[in-house]
Amino acid sequence: MAALRRLLPKAFLAPRSSTISRFVSPPSTLNPQTDLQSAAAALNLHPLRRGGDPKGRNVQWVFLGCPGVGKGTYASRLSTLLGVPHIATGDLVRDELASAGPLSSKLSEIVRQGKLVPDEVIIDLLSKRLETGEAKRETGFILDGFPRTVRQAEILEGVTDIDLVVNLKLREDALLVKCLGRRICSECGGNYNVACIDIKGEDGNPGMYMAPLLPPPHCETKLITRSDDTEEVVKERLRIYNEMKAADFGSTCETQPLNLAQAGSCYLLSDINLTKPVEDFYRSRGKLLEFDLPGGIPESWPKLLQALNLEDGDDKRSAAA
Tens digits of residue pLDDT in 194-237: 999 999 888 877 889 999 999 999 999 999 998 778 888 888 87
Main-chain phi, psi angles of 228, to 5 degrees: -95, 5
Compute the average pLDDT of residues 2-14: 43
pLDDT number for residue 255: 35
Q: Give tens-digit pLDDT for 139-169.
A: 899 999 899 888 889 999 988 889 999 999 9
Q: Which amino acid is at 199?
A: I
pLDDT number for residue 105: 86
pLDDT number for residue 183: 93
Main-chain phi, psi angles of 207, to 5 degrees: -80, 180
pTM, two decimal places:
0.71
What is the set of domains in the chain, with CATH numbers?
A: 23-310 (3.40.50.300)
Confidence band (pLDDT; 50, 70, 90) for 188? Answer: very high
Q: Give tens-digit pLDDT for 266-305.
A: 334 444 445 678 999 999 999 999 999 999 999 999 999 9
Q: What are the helix (H) ranges across the chain?
A: 4-13, 36-42, 71-82, 89-98, 104-112, 119-135, 150-159, 172-180, 231-246, 275-283, 297-307, 313-320
Q: Any bridge partners for residue 86, and if so which? A: 142
Say which DSSP state 109 is in: H
Catalytic residues: 71, 148, 182, 226, 237
